[in-house]
Homo-oligomer: A and B are copies of this chain.
Amino acid sequence: MIKRLTIFGVGLIGGSLAMALRAAGTCHEVVGCSRSEEHLRQALERGVIDRYTLDPAEAVQGADMVVLAVPLGAMRAVCAAIRGHLAPEAALTDVGSAKGSVVEAVREGFGEMPLNFVPGHPIAGTEKSGVSAAFPGLFHGRRVILTPLETSDLGALARVRTMWEETGAVVETLSVAHHDEVLAATSHLPHLLAFGLVDSLARMGERDEIFRYAAGGFRDFTRIASSDPVMWRDICLANREAILQVMAGYQQDLGLITRAIEAQDGDALLEIFQRAKAARDEFCQ
């Protein structure tokens, strides 16, 4: 049971977490904090939080669980603002999509690594953002990856794990570096490809016509290009090296396809397409 949960950034993820824990009846009070009073008021009106404050230091007072659900670029400032105000028994976690940069930001913000900090990342979300898109079932059946540090307190780890399990999520642990490599491949790269494709088409002369004839597959394929641009800028900067590495591999692979088309090498194309279809059919049933 969480007595007082403080959420920084009550958007899609932070808001859905609060709603899920309320629905599970495992959280007594939820305090929201953000730079935008409008967002907080919206969260209050939707019943997602019990109260809010714009002051980070005040927000964490008496909290036994603190969740950083702000954009990656804002993590460090929030940590600096709550430094010295966090109760020693409070568990601290985050929901950032790139863990290496969050670990660094937390260390810098606090001036040292808080022992109760357990980095986390729920593999859930939609292309929508904001508390208006939040819903209590968002994490149900989804994976949440925790990347505990060597310094992480085991009690704090257990409490963060329990919190996520109470949302219906399946909790696993990975190292920070491994998480960032895997997510670069499965999430960050696809988002860049989708943003790149839509932008590429949007800048063509006949863009209205181009989009007009887009088929059903195009809509699914580009859904993730409707994601929050600020969040994705932050992710690109935060997970730069892992993203550049998978992007380089992908561009090489795209080069193979391009050269096969140039050479009219149907066998090479068929081999690539068959391998891809088999892998997708196997893993995304």
Contacts and interface: CB of A to CB of B under 8 A. Distances in A.
A196 B258 CA distance: 10
Interface in A223-250: 223-230, 232-234, 236-237, 240, 243-244, 246-250
Kindly name the residue among A191, A203, A217, A281 whose own CB sees the greatest number of chain B CB atoms within 10 A: A217
A233 B197 contact: no
A162 to B, nearest CB: 21
Nearest to A266: B233
Contacts of A232: 269, 273
A224 B41 CA distance: 41
A1 interface: no
B273 A233 contact: yes
A258 B247 contact: yes
A195 B283 contact: no
A261 B279 contact: no
Nearest to A138: B216
Given A221-B224, A269-B236, A284-B219, A199 B276 contact: yes
- Range class of the A interface residue count: 35 or more
Contact of A276 (B123, B225, B248): B225
Decide if the interface of chain A is mainly helix, strand, loop or mixed: helix
Interface in A188-229: 189-204, 206-207, 209-229
A175 interface: no
Given A251-B251, A262-B244, A280 B229 contact: no
Interface in A46-93: none
A44 interface: no
B227 A283 contact: no
Contacts of A195: 257, 272-273, 276-277
A35 interface: no
B229 A277 contact: yes
The 9 closest A-B pairs by CB, nearest first: A229-B273, A211-B283, A202-B279, A198-B276, A199-B276, A195-B276, A186-B214, A200-B253, A217-B224
Given A220-B220, A240-B261, 15 more contacts: A123-B213, A185-B210, A189-B197, A190-B222, A196-B250, A196-B253, A201-B279, A211-B283, A221-B221, A222-B280, A227-B277, A229-B274, A229-B277, A247-B261, A254-B254
